[in-house]
Amino acid sequence: MSTAMDIDAPNVSESNSETSDFYAPWLEKYRPRVLDDIVGNEDIVSRLKVISRDGNVPNILLVGMSGIGKTTSILCLAAELLGPSYKDAVLELNASDDRSIDTVRDNIKKFAQKKVTLPPGKHKIIILDEADSMTGGAQQALRRTMELYTNTTRFALACNESSKIIEPLQSRCAVLRYEKLTDEQVLHRLLEICEKENVQYNDEGLEAIIFTADGDMRQAINNLQATHFGSDFVNEENVFKICDQPHPAIVKEILDSCSRCEIDKAVGLMKKLFYSGYAAVDIVTTFFRVAKSYVDMDEQFRLDCMKPIGETNLKVNKGYISLLQLEGMLADICMVSPAFATL
């Protein structure tokens, strides 16, 4: 007679692993683990490969917009350099959370002082993400720490704007400036993920995701996963519904109306967008992206649109987020249209 011990029970740990893997954020699931897997910025990646091969890593300042691989590339470099010692020899901090001078004096300095057994020529690595959020005092304290522990520790500072990093820190680092990813590079990675996750999509859906991401790989992958789980089919309508961004087709229609000086129609469509709950900054940002990429519109008119759109963006960022500002932008766009001169 069979007993309970004889019956093959399902492997609970494997089942839980498969379930957690299914619901895992694709951003982490498909994060590159080696430098060869990183998309875009080939020149910088090739420099990091040389550093990985030679083992002589300098202090590094990585500069560029969000979601283009700054932190991922330095993590891949650290993993290839340190191998099994990675866990003990790498400290990763998000400076937007831990940005005070106490963090430098406590966490960073203590880690720099910690003794870790490493192969000859290897160094501990401290990664500071969002380093441009650190206070001036913390950056000054970090400068001294970098000098004191240069024989054992290297620093990698990732930031969006190098102008917010003090000059003494910049002069101590090799500066790597990352470029925004092209649409082709983002599309290539999205297609890989769609194939592995059996995502149902059409070309218009992927184009919509690329439009909403605007060169940000992190945003593109998150939007793809959200649309896939939210609607089961990635098409243009579902992408803009799930991502909750103003539809570029409506913005194109507004710009077409402005090009013909049909201000009443343009204002009516703008009110529809505004009262749908979209933030003024999202509306203005979509106007800029559409005007930049709307090839069917007169090129000179597209260029002339940039000034009123930019001026409105400046006002919105200062807190002037009323419908009046957006309607004023439409009036200014009408005044630079070819049809205005014929009135």
Phi and psi torsions of 233, nearest 5°: -140, 125
- Is the Cα dihedral 23, 29, 30, 31 positive or negative? positive
What CATH number is attached to the domain comprising 128? 3.40.50.300
Q: Sort residue 231 into left (φ over 0), alpha (ψ -120 to 50) or beta.
A: alpha
Tens-digit pLDDT profile for the chain (343 aa)?
444 334 344 444 444 444 455 567 888 888 888 888 888 888 999 998 888 888 788 899 999 888 888 889 989 988 888 888 888 888 888 755 666 666 667 778 888 888 888 877 788 888 888 888 888 888 888 888 888 888 888 889 888 888 888 898 888 888 999 988 988 999 999 999 999 988 899 889 999 899 888 888 998 999 999 998 888 888 888 888 888 788 888 999 999 999 888 999 999 999 998 998 888 888 999 999 888 887 777 788 888 889 999 999 999 888 888 889 999 999 999 998 887 777 6
Whether residues 310 and 205 share a domain: the answer is no
Look at residue 15 and tell me if it is in a domain: no
Whether residues 217 and 120 share a domain: the answer is no
CB 195 within 8 A of CB 228: no
Last residue of a domain, one of 210, 226, 243: 243
Look at residue 100 and tell me if it is in a domain: yes
Q: What pLDDT is recorded for position 99? A: 63
CA distance 62 to 19: 36
Whether residues 136 and 149 share a domain: the answer is yes
Whether residues 307 and 255 share a domain: the answer is yes
CA distance 290 to 295: 9
Whether residues 144 and 46 share a domain: the answer is yes
Last residue of a domain, one of 177, 192, 226: 177
| Residue 92: DSSP 8-state | E
Whether residues 63 and 149 share a domain: the answer is yes
Whether residues 67 and 173 share a domain: the answer is yes
Which domain does 147 fall in, by range?
41-177
CA distance 331 to 310: 14
Whether residues 236 and 252 share a domain: the answer is no
Last residue of a domain, one of 216, 243, 270: 243
Look at residue 88 and tell me if it is in a domain: yes
Nearest to 264 by CA among 275, 250, 254, 273: 254
And the tokens for 335? 């005044």
CA distance 40 to 56: 24
Look at residue 89 and tell me if it is in a domain: yes
Whether residues 210 and 197 share a domain: the answer is yes
Whether residues 72 and 165 share a domain: the answer is yes
What CATH number is attached to the domain comprising 291? 1.20.272.10
Residue 299: other Cβ atoms inside 10 A: 9
Look at residue 2 and tell me if it is in a domain: no
The number of residues making up the chain comes to: 343
Look at residue 4 and tell me if it is in a domain: no
Q: What pLDDT is recorded for position 3? A: 41
Look at residue 32 and tell me if it is in a domain: no
Q: What pLDDT is recorded for position 88? A: 86
Q: What pLDDT is recorded for position 343? A: 66
Q: What pLDDT is recorded for position 321? A: 86
Whether residues 239 and 259 share a domain: the answer is no
Look at residue 26 and tell me if it is in a domain: no
- Classified as helix, coil or strand, 118 is coil
What CATH number is attached to the domain comprising 196? 1.10.8.60
Give me the number of domains the chain comprises.
3
CA distance 35 to 78: 10
Q: Sort residue 198 into left (φ over 0), alpha (ψ -120 to 50) or beta.
A: left
Whether residues 47 and 162 share a domain: the answer is yes
